[in-house]
Structure 1
Amino acid sequence: MTDSRPNTSDYEQLFLNDTPLLDVRAPVEFEKGSFPQSQNQPLMNNEERQKIGTCYKRSGHDAAMALGHSLVNGKIKADRMAAWIQFTKENPDGYLYCFRGGERSHLVQSWLKEAGIHYPLVTGGYKAVRSFLIEQLEESIEECNFVILGGKTGTGKTRLLEHLPSYIDLEGLANHRGSSFGRRIGGQPSQIDFENRLAIEFIKSRNAGRTTIVLEDESKLIGRCCLPLSLKEKMQKAPIILLEEDLETRVQITFEEYIEQNLFDNICAHGKDTGFATFADDLLASLDRIRKRLGGARHQELRTIMEEALLEQRDHNRSQKHRDWIRTLLRDYYDPMYEFQLEQKSGRITDCGNCRQLQQKYSNANLNKLFSE
């Protein structure tokens, strides 16, 4: 790689093009917040970073720099150089960055240059890009119009979203289905990562001319990820399309997503036996989390049915008994809560129908025109 590309401050294009990014910050920094297309190959690990920070406070910049060069030297430096070089070969159009676009990224850039590789960096580093995304997020929330897709638990709102021309999947970004049973394999992103992902989705939508966006009806929290206050406030005033399905259809959708898909994901992640055990433990723990709201007797009744269903599924590969507790939970627990909440929103409902009807009506619709008034 001999061609010299300039450093960039065009943050928008980084995300519109899903440009690969080499993050040379320490792992602890990366875990607090990063970008979807970034890969962490640190200049310093967490322990080294801490030592250098302590040295800087006690003895100043020059001493800290000297310590850094002594810690990242020899085989350690060679191994890290090898990882960076491999990244540049696999991602010739990428960029590298550190926290502020300062000494760490410039040092990595200079070491790569010594190896004959001219690799550009993101000016301003993570801090500047994060500030840009925060600004874009708030600007997008202010300028975009929203349509809320509502419906009882199990109606398949996320499935319908995917057939609409302009949507953002909040639950997908949060990696959580939004209910007490909503945990997914891989865990949730940090709050900062969730906000970054959301901002990037808005950037892509607006760049494509989509300024009226469908969002699934969500509470303030999706698992542990919190919606921006400005977004939640605007969602509470937006028109609602109501997805309606009969109870048995909802039981089937819930069964497919929370039983079949969750078990499949766990087996893929952990293997057959451990995967099933993890799936079963998570399911029981989800029910236990709503014990107080269910009441002791109803919780115990549902837990017994769930335990029987899990045993039958494990020992005889029959999973249909799960439908019994799903049906009861939907009808007697989730439906009354949603109906109460829907009463407060009834004046905002602009349309309703089942999945087939709404998909037929809106899948090719220009939502910008449809909800412009």
Structure 2
Amino acid sequence: MQKISVEETLKLKDDIVIDTRSPVEFEKDRIPWAINIPILDNEERKIVGTLYKDNPDKAIKLGYDYYNKKLPRMTEEFKKLDSSKKIIIYCWRGGMRSQTIVKLVSDLGFNAFLLEGGYRAYRRYVREQLEKYEPPFAFVVLYGLAGSGKTELLKQLKPSIDLEGLAQHRSSNFGAIGLNPREQKLFESLLFKRLKELEGENVVFVEGESHKVGKVFIPNSVFKAMKRGLAVRVNCSIENRAKQIVKDYFTHGEDDKIREIIVYLKPHLTKKVVEDLLKLMDDKNYTEVSKILLLKYYDSKYEHYIGQAGCSYTVCNDDIQECVKELKKIAGQSEK
């Protein structure tokens, strides 16, 4: 049986990686470009895992029974793969699940490899690499009040890292609205992939964040590098900021969730302000809701954080194209 290390696997560009773990395991974290072809579904994995504690032999037999029932369907899935590419296969620790599939795929005539140590070895490698990571580029870090369009700027500034996009959280009380926040492990996998993609760059744009983005933490090595970066303040009018907030939070049909969060903020606002906000929500006056939340809650918090950043430059994002040009000049980039 051919084997391949995690490090060698991550250097490959176009080859195929297959994760044989259950969908729930895959959802929590995986090699970012892996395909999930599970031997056991979530319920089957739970049953086999519980049985294994009391009777390992019986659990293994049950696992094979599940596998044999799915074998025809899985075989058809594997036949669709590109035979000109390497097929790297892994499970939790490079054990029975992945070994079974490596044999099957090899018998079908593919160039199949077992990932040494499985997902567990991959996770250890990513964690170790992030702990000692030293970026070969300088960060240009964008700071600004909520709604100032920093994420929209990052979409147009290349190269960049969108930490909130990787975390699937906008880093505020309302930050999960319209999104599906990711777990720490998957966030780190995606961040590590992006950092590797950026090797060779001189300057990378990123949004200034606290150490925590939603439920996840930015690795210390990356966070420290951001703190050493060139800090730029992004200003924007209250009108345009409110429009951005409406776009980000009020277009997902989650008004009830927004109401809950507004009530949760009562200790930080007055009873009258909360009542006014709920009335405006009834009237679907989302622009006014946004303005009040910005002016009476978020702005003071953000101003304190921005003040600590020591911004060397200030730009205006009321015209995003002009702002992009200005930021490129600040970063020393030539316009293409």
| Alpha-carbon contact 2:132-2:221 (below 8 Å) kept | no
Is it true that 1:253 corresponds to 2:229 in the alignment? Answer: no
State yes or no: 1:302 paired with 2:277.
Answer: yes
Pair 1:27 & 2:27 matched: no
Residue 10 (structure 1) shift: 6.0
Equivalent residue for 2:171, pick from 178, 186, 202: 178
Q: Is the 8 A contact 1:211 1:368 kept in 2?
A: no
CA contact (8 A) 2:280 2:288 kept: yes
Q: Give the structure with the higher percent helix.
A: 1
The Cα of 1:79 is off from its aligned counterpart by 3.0
The amino acid across from 2:312 in the alignment is T
Distance 1:143 1:117, change over 3 A: closer
Pairing 1:269-288 to 2, within 5 Å after superposition = 276=253, 279-288=254-263
Q: 1:148·1:215 contact (CA, 8 Å) conserved in 2?
A: yes
Higher strand share goes to which structure? 2
1:251 maps to amino acid: A
- What is the number of residues matched between the two proteins? 331
CA separation of 1:13/1:34 partners in 2, compared to 1, >3 Å: closer, same or farther? closer
**Structure 2: distance between partners of 1:241 and 1:147:** 7
Deviation at 1:7, TM superposition (A): 4.7
Q: Which runs of 5+ in 2 are unaligned?
A: none
- Is 1:42 paired with 2:38? yes
Q: How does 1:271-350 map to 2 (within 5 A)?
A: 276=253, 279-309=254-284, 321-345=285-309, 348-350=310-312
Q: Deviations over 1:236-291 (max 9, x none)?
A: 443310011121221222233333xx33xxxxxxxxxxxx4xx2223323323323
Contact 1:16–1:204 (Cα < 8 Å) also in 2:
no
TM-score with structure 1 setting the length:
0.77
Residue of 86, 94, 97 corresponding to 1:104: 97
Matches within 5 A, 1:210-225: 210-225=201-216
Q: Structure 1, residues 209-242: CA drift from partner, whole Å, max 9, x if none?
A: 1253222111222221222234334434433100
Contact 2:6–2:116 (CA under 8 A) maintained in structure 1: no
AA aligned opposite 2:270: G
Q: Runs (4+) of structure 1 moved beyond 6 Å? A: none
The one-letter code sitting in structure 2 at the alignment partner of 1:229 is N
Task: State how far apart, in whole Å, the 2-side matches of 1:94 and 1:118 are.
Answer: 6
Matching residue's letter, 1:231: V
Tell whether the 8 Å contact from 2:19 to 2:91 is kept in structure 1 after alignment. Answer: yes
Structure 1, unpaired ranges of 5+? 264-275, 310-320
Question: Are the counterparts in 2 of residues 181 and 287 from structure 1 also a CA contact under 8 Å?
Answer: no
Verify: 1:359 aligned to 2:321, yes or no.
no
Cα deviation, residue 66, structure 1: 4.0
Show CA shifts across 1:190-227 (max 9, x none). 11001110111111111xx1253222111222221222
